[in-house]
């Protein structure tokens, strides 16, 4: 609600909210899981480090997304932090209606040692998580997972970022 002193609260317009949140620059990741004999992947920027003891990470997932049902079924997931070189990967995996079968065929990836989920080759960091909690939050779920595997490549490329609906990078 938006309040003006002495006036009735006015509901916040969802499209205005989307534009305002778009002004918050975020890193870009790919979230992966495996269910129903298929890799599931999506571009995500709503991830958060939650705790160091235990080591927990959170991802916010739209409940209507295919990835949501897949991660609930599998209980494990990966996060690959993308560098500027991965803009095409981020764009592809954020395309609505892309085919489920083979969606990672055009993306170089490998299997994480701890969970076997796909992690994107050349990522700035990779996390493997085992789901510990799922909390309903409006039209999304907050999926919390214990980090059970970690990859930190020695090479650091500029980070891919998302700002005002566009991809850019940080040096």
Q: Which two tokens stand for residue 164?
A: 């005002």
Whether the Cβ atoms of residue 149 and residue 114 lie closer than 8 Å to each other: yes
pLDDT tens per residue, range 9-63: 878 999 998 888 888 889 999 999 999 899 999 999 999 999 999 999 999 999 9
Report whether pLDDT(6) > 70. no
Sign of the Cα torsion 164, 165, 166, 167 reads positive
Q: Which two tokens stand for residue 67?
A: 């990835």
Residues 6+ apart with CB under 8 A from 154: none
Query: Among 6-10, 49-53, 94-98, 153-157, where is mean pLDDT lowest?
Result: 6-10
Q: How far, in Å, CA of 36 to CA of 4, rounded? A: 51
Q: Which two tokens stand for residue 69?
A: 């049902």
Determine the straight-line distance between the first and last CA of the chain, rounded to whole angstroms. Answer: 37
Whether the Cβ atoms of residue 73 and residue 153 lie closer than 8 Å to each other: no
Beta strands at 125-137 and 140-151: parallel, antiparallel or unpaired: antiparallel
Q: What is the pTM of this model?
A: 0.91
Q: Average per-residue pLDDT in the chain?
A: 93
Report whether pLDDT(155) > 90. no
pLDDT tens per residue, range 61-82: 999 999 999 999 999 999 999 9
Domains and CATH numbers, the chain: 26-170 (2.30.110.10)
Buried/exposed 9-37: b ≥16 CB within 10 Å, e otherwise: eeeeeeeeeeeeeeeeeebbbbbbbbbee
Report whether pLDDT(3) > 70. no
DSSP type of residue 164: T
């Amino acid at each position: 609600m938006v309040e003006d002193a002495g006036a009735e609260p006015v509901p916040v317009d969802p499209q205005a909210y989307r534009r305002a949140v778009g002004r918050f620059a975020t890193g870009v990741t790919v979230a992966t899981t495996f269910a129903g004999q298929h890799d599931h992947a999506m571009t995500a920027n709503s991830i958060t480090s939650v705790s160091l003891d235990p080591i927990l990470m959170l991802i916010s997932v739209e409940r209507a997304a295919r990835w949501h049902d897949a991660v609930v079924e599998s209980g494990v997931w990966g996060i690959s932090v993308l560098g500027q070189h991965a803009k095409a990967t981020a764009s592809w995996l954020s395309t609505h209606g892309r085919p489920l079968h083979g969606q990672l065929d055009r993306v170089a990836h490998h299997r994480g040692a701890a969970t076997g989920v796909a992690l994107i080759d050349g990522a700035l960091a990779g996390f493997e998580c085992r789901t510990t909690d799922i909390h309903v939050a409006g039209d999304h779920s907050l999926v919390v997972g214990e980090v059970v595997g970690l990859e930190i490549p020695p090479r650091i490329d500029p980070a891919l970022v998302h700002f005002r609906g566009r991809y850019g990078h940080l040096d």
